[in-house]
DNA sequence: TTACATGGGCGTCAAACGCT
DNA sequence: AGCGTTTGACGCCCATGTAA
């Protein structure tokens, strides 16, 4: 996660190679921009390019909550916030799912190792029991 | 070579759970 | 109650193996 010059930055990855970035300006106002994002083959977000509002490229949407007056604008704002929240949730969950699978794989590997160890121990105990039985039989002869 | 089956990995959603 | 985390279930995609 990079910093937009001033204030905290949060972002949610989007599938189409773009992301919406929310950042807080020095005066505390929230800003949103969609920016191109680089995603590694592993799906990790690697970098954001954040431009000054005056140099936003074509296709980049920027919105600010300040000055919202009409109910329609309010609705759009809340829809946008909801979408942003969903995207952030999806990103978190994607990472969590990867972690969960990794953990599960390690757990299974661990169980398999334990099975192998217990099988060896079992074999050794069976062998030991056999030897003790032999010893006992010969003693009684 | 091609069509199909199978297995593994991934993203997403939803439910359950724990924490504050 | 609301929020974040974890994980099972589902569908999709891709790689590999196999029979025709």
Task: Identify the residue with better confidence: A54 or A120.
Answer: A120
Contact at 8 Å (CB) between A84 and A32?
yes
Residues near chain C strand, CB within 7 A = A 89, 92-93, 96-97, 99-100, 103-104
| Number of neighbours of residue A138 by Cβ within 10 angstroms | 8
C-alpha to C-alpha distance for A88 and A118, rounded to whole angstroms: 45
A36-43: Cβ within 8 A, 24+ apart? A37/A11, A37/A13, A39/A13, A43/A94, A43/A98
Nearest nucleotide (C1') to alpha carbon of A94: B11
Q: A55 CA, B3 C1': separation in Å? A: 53
Task: Identify the residue with better confidence: A61 or A70.
Answer: A70
Tell me the pLDDT of chain A averaged across its residues. Answer: 63
Could you identify the residue whose CA is nearest to the C1' atom of nucleotide B11?
A94
Give pLDDT tens digits for A73-92. Answer: 877 777 787 888 888 889 99
Nearest nucleotide (C1') to alpha carbon of A98: B10
| Three-class secondary structure of residue A115 per DSSP | helix
User: In sequence order, what are the beta bridge partners of A10?
Assistant: A22
Q: A85 CA, C2 C1': separation in Å? A: 15
Mean of the pLDDT values across residues A26-47? 38
């Amino acid at each position: 996660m990079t910093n937009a010059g001033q204030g905290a930055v949060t972002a949610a990855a989007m599938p189409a190679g773009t992301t919406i970035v929310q950042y807080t300006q020095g005066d505390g106002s929230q800003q949103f921009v969609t920016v191109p994002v680089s995603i590694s083959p592993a799906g990790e977000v690697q970098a954001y390019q954040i431009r000054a509002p005056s140099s936003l490229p074509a296709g980049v949407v920027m919105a600010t909550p300040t000055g919202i007056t009409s109910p329609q604008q309010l609705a759009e704002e809340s829809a946008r916030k909801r979408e942003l929240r969903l995207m952030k949730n999806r990103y978190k969950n994607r990472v969590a799912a990867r972690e969960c699978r990794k953990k599960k794989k390690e757990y299974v590997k661990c169980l398999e190792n334990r099975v192998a160890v217990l099988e060896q121990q079992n074999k050794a105990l069976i062998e030991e029991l056999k030897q003790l039985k032999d010893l006992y039989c010969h003693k009684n002869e």
